[in-house]
Amino acid sequence: MLLAILGYGKMGHAIETLALQRGHQIGCTVDNDDDWNRCGDALRACDVAVEFSQPAVAVDNLRRCFDLGLPVVCGTTGWYDRLDAVAAECRDRGQALLVASNFSIGMNIMFELNRRLAQLMAARPEYKVSLSETHHIHKLDAPSGTAITLARDINEVCHAERMPVGDIVSIREGEVPGIHEVVYDSDVDTLTLRHSAKSRQGLALGAVLAAEYLCGRKGFYTMRDLLSEA
Whether 195 is catalytic is: no
Give the pLDDT confidence score for residue 164 in this predicted structure.
65
Catalytic residue among 135, 138, 180, 195: 135
Give the pLDDT confidence score for residue 81 in this predicted structure.
92
Q: Residue 156 pLDDT more than 70?
A: yes
Residues carrying CATH 3.40.50.720, the chain: 2-103+201-228
Give the pLDDT confidence score for residue 165 in this predicted structure.
63
Q: Residue 105 pLDDT more than 90?
A: yes
Give the pLDDT confidence score for residue 140 in this predicted structure.
78
Whether 218 is catalytic is: no
Give the pLDDT confidence score for residue 33 in this predicted structure.
87
Q: Which tens digits make up the pLDDT trace of 27-73?
A: 999 999 899 989 989 999 999 999 999 999 999 999 999 999 999 99
Secondary structure of 43-109 as H, E, C letters: HHHCCEEEECCCHHHHHHHHHHHHHHCCCEEECCCCCHHHHHHHHHHHHHCCCEEEECCCCCHHHHH
* CATH among 3.40.190.150, 1.20.200.10, 3.40.50.720, 3.40.50.970 for 2-103+201-228: 3.40.50.720
Which class in CATH covers the domain with range 105-196?
alpha beta
Catalytic residue among 10, 24, 128, 139: 139
Q: Is 150 helix (H, G, I), strand (E, B) or coil?
A: helix
Residues carrying CATH 3.30.360.10, the chain: 105-196
Q: Residue 230 pLDDT more than 70?
A: no
Q: Residue 195 pLDDT more than 90?
A: yes
Give the pLDDT confidence score for residue 84 in this predicted structure.
96
